[in-house]
Structure 1
Amino acid sequence: MFGNEVEDVLHFLANIEKEWLLIFDNADHGVDLAKYIPRCNHGNVLITTRDKEVHQLSSLDHPFPDIPDLIVDEAIELLLKSAHQEDSEETHLAIVHALGCQALAIATAGTYVWQHPTCQLKDYLKVFNQKHDALLNFKLNTMDRYDSTIFIAFQLSFDFLSGTTKSFMKMCSLFHHFAIPIEIFYRGMSFTLEDFSDELDVNDSVDELAKMSLASYSADDHSISFHPVIHHCAQEIVGEDNLDYVGMLLLADVTPGVAESSEDYQLQRQLLAHADHLYDETTGFPSVLIA
């Protein structure tokens, strides 16, 4: 029998004449996993992670598969199973689309409806919009004792980001979650609380968020997008800092009065959805007209 030291476990696994499976779950936060993997030509290692740097540990003929969110039919099935009820298909679709088919968010929504008889599926999105904080922190009671809420799961990753990237993500949460032009931050650095000294600092934050699978970057239109649930969680953090005015100043600063180039015109078109979002989310925001 071996002791509790890591070296003893590695030695045991490397020398046992049987196949074994070693699992590292949620290996997301910069731990050097290589020193915990036995050096031998047998056995199997399964790693779940959002950190793309961990992919380097994969053997060449077995690359890391990306596990996507649920497809719509799977999300609806999970929602109904968790809620122990049925409603109109239109309601199902509205909920799963609003939550981006994210499994934990879908299961949480269904369980919340099941435990709150005054909240039917048709009411959930209205309640969610009114009580973000409570629902993001709603805890599931499951047989496997999984006690992470949506917000806690997000917070674990957010806490490991650099200070600059945390500030960048907070500012991104002020806009619509999809296709936020990076040009907003290039042109509006004077309003970013001095977190960014040049464009490379912005790019570093984009890369860090993409590395941790907290956002995706599109090279086609130089924009960053967030899963709607992640975006909601980031908004909850921003709510503590009262940064709404930063979004207004950024948008006003980067919006060209007259499009002098095709790039300016394209930026104007991209900013429309974000101007609408700021108007909907912020009181006292002046009308913005982009021709």
Structure 2
Amino acid sequence: MRLILSIGQRIRRERMYLSWSQQLLAETVGTSTTSINRWENDKTLPHPYYRKQLCVIFGKPIEEIFSPADTGEQTEQRQHQVWNVPYLRNIYFTGREDILHALHNAFLATQTADATRFCALSGLGGIGKTQVAIEYVYRYGHEYNAILWATADTHQELVASFDTCAGLLGLLTKPELSTQTPIQEVLHWLHTNQHWLLIFDGVDNLEMISEFLPRRGEGHILLTTRSQATGSSIKGINVTPMGQAESFLLLLRRAKLISNVTELASISTSMRQDAEMICALFGGLPLALDQAATYIEENQCELRNYYALYQGQRKALLKRRGGANKRGYSRSVATTWTSSFQQIEQSNPIAADLLRLLAFLPPGTISQEVLVAGIVGLDEVLQPIAQNSLILDDAIGELLRYSLVGRYLETKMLTIHPLVQQVIKDRLDEMAQRQWAMRATQIVNHVLSANLILLGGQRK
């Protein structure tokens, strides 16, 4: 006689097969160990959302774990939430509380009836925009009846995402009778429903998503984009580099050198010092920290040994992602920015030259006026920038589209992340590096000379 396992026994069997603890399963699914315990002891059934997550983790079809005969009528009685978020919750997600609260408050702000509220997470590639969006939907997902995720890298991916959404919403039951496309079907559903969240992930071209945006409806739309200019109707939230404390915790937690609940105060002084050296290399860029931590975990490498290795193998390490992240963001720091550099080179060569020059100037804030004054004495490569302020604005605007620089209008200062500088340098051959380093040196010398002359005149 075949032994028939209960649903709870099946969940426990699959967890034990993975050699996972209840705590690890709870953290990965995004629930509590109490819930896991109650599921495994058949005291409650997982919500349909958690069933999907469990089946993804176990690599089993839903019928094998949750057969209709066992779930009974309770399944039909539970409220079903439409959900197509393609990522599991990141159990190593650290900090970003201010951004999450700002985003939540922006969506909750008073709005007129039948109005969709738009928000955008903007920032440099690798700064963690998608991870913030993922954490937001897991943290606040209970406030929505439907959460729809659309990959917006290309038009083709957007169409495919809306096809998936149409199927999840039950809009394709009789496609032969429909006179509308899946995109139109989804937009109509958004127009006539409320309490939904639609996410466009990786929007580089705001015009490309216009045909996918509902013109009315009571819901929320969240974009992740590298562009800092998102228009007047979209609330922009800038995702900035992580602070020192957040960087420490992310590095050590992701490298599995401390637990997810360990606080800074309980970390040994030597470990903090070693972590501080590594974090200083990456300027609070989450992707770089995660990339380093992955290497440390996979190779069982000590922190100070990784720091020493980075000094001699920086270029290779910035290109190396590590196999443990293939289910999530698979691109490395170097490859994340490669497409941005290539697009800038094609669309605005002067902007590309300006970016190369900025890569060789001292890191930190750079005065726009000083930069232009120094360019006047250089060769013809960057003269259009010095001679025409419109060309300068266009060049800076092109770099802002990809958040490769920051610009403060009040002080007329430019900023560039030190890792962006490093990756740009690594893309140049030795001769080109010498040429751009010489141009940067000439600018600095020109400014210093001008200041000395001015001071001399004052003394006289």
The TM-score, its normalising length taken from structure 1, stands at 0.76
1:92 corresponds to: 275
SS in 2 for 1:79: helix
Kept in 2: contact 1:192–1:246 (CA 8 A): no
Give the alignment of 1:138-149 within 5 angstroms.
138-140=320-322, 141-142=324-325, 144-149=327-332
Paired AA for residue 71 in structure 1: G
Q: Secondary structure of the equivalent of 1:225? A: strand
Aligned residue pairs: how many?
259
Structure 1 residues 43, 263: CA separation in 2 closer, same or farther (over 3 Å shift)? farther
Please tell me the residue identity of whatever aligns with 2:374: R
Residue type at the aligned position of 1:65: I
Q: SS at 1:47's partner residue?
A: strand
TM-superposed CA distance for 1:257, in Å, is 4.0
CA–CA distance in 2 between the matches of 1:256 and 1:133?
32
Gaps of 5+ in 2: 1-170, 176-180, 259-269
How big is the shift at 1:81? 1.8
Identity %: 19
Match of 2:285 in 1: 102
Find 1:174's aligned residue among 321, 345, 360. 360
Q: CA deviation at 1:249?
A: 3.9
Cα distance between partner residues in 2 of 1:264 and 1:83: 57
What's the counterpart of residue 261 of structure 1? Answer: 454
Partner of 2:188: 11
More moved, 48-57 vs 256-265: 256-265
Amino acid at match of 2:227: D
Measure the CA separation in 2 of the matches of 1:240 and 1:25. Answer: 37
Match of 2:399 in 1: 209
Q: Quickly say closer, same or farther: Cα 1:212–1:164, change in 2 above 3 A.
A: same
String of CA shifts for 1:178-206, please: whole Å, max 9, x gaps.
Answer: 12343244433564553442242334322
Counterpart of 2:244 (choices 68, 72, 87) is 72
1:116 equivalent to 2:306? Answer no
Q: 1:102 & 1:176 partners in 2: Cα distance?
A: 19
- Alpha-carbon shift at residue 256 of structure 1 (Å): 5.0
| Cα displacement (A) at 1:121 | 0.8
SS at structure 1 position matched to 2:400: helix
Matches within 5 A, 1:7-86: 7-15=184-192, 17-58=193-234, 63-85=235-257
* Secondary structure of residue in 1 paired with 2:215: coil
The residue identity in structure 2 corresponding to 1:209 is L
Give, in whole Å, the separation in 1 of the partners of 2:338 and 2:433: 19
1:90-116: CA deviations, max 9, x gaps? 111122122111111111111112223
What TM-score do the two structures reach when normalised by structure 2?
Answer: 0.50
Deviating more after overlay: 231-240 vs 160-169: 231-240
Equivalent in the alignment of 1:226: 416
Runs of 4+ in 1 over 6 A off after TM superposition: none
**In structure 2, do the counterparts of structure 1 residues 263 and 7 end up closer, same or farther at CA, with 3 Å as the change threshold?**
farther
CA distance in 2 between partners of 1:241 and 1:44 (Å):
51
Query: 1:45 offset after TM fit, Å?
Result: 0.7
Larger Rg: 2
| Structure-1 residue corresponding to 2:27 | none
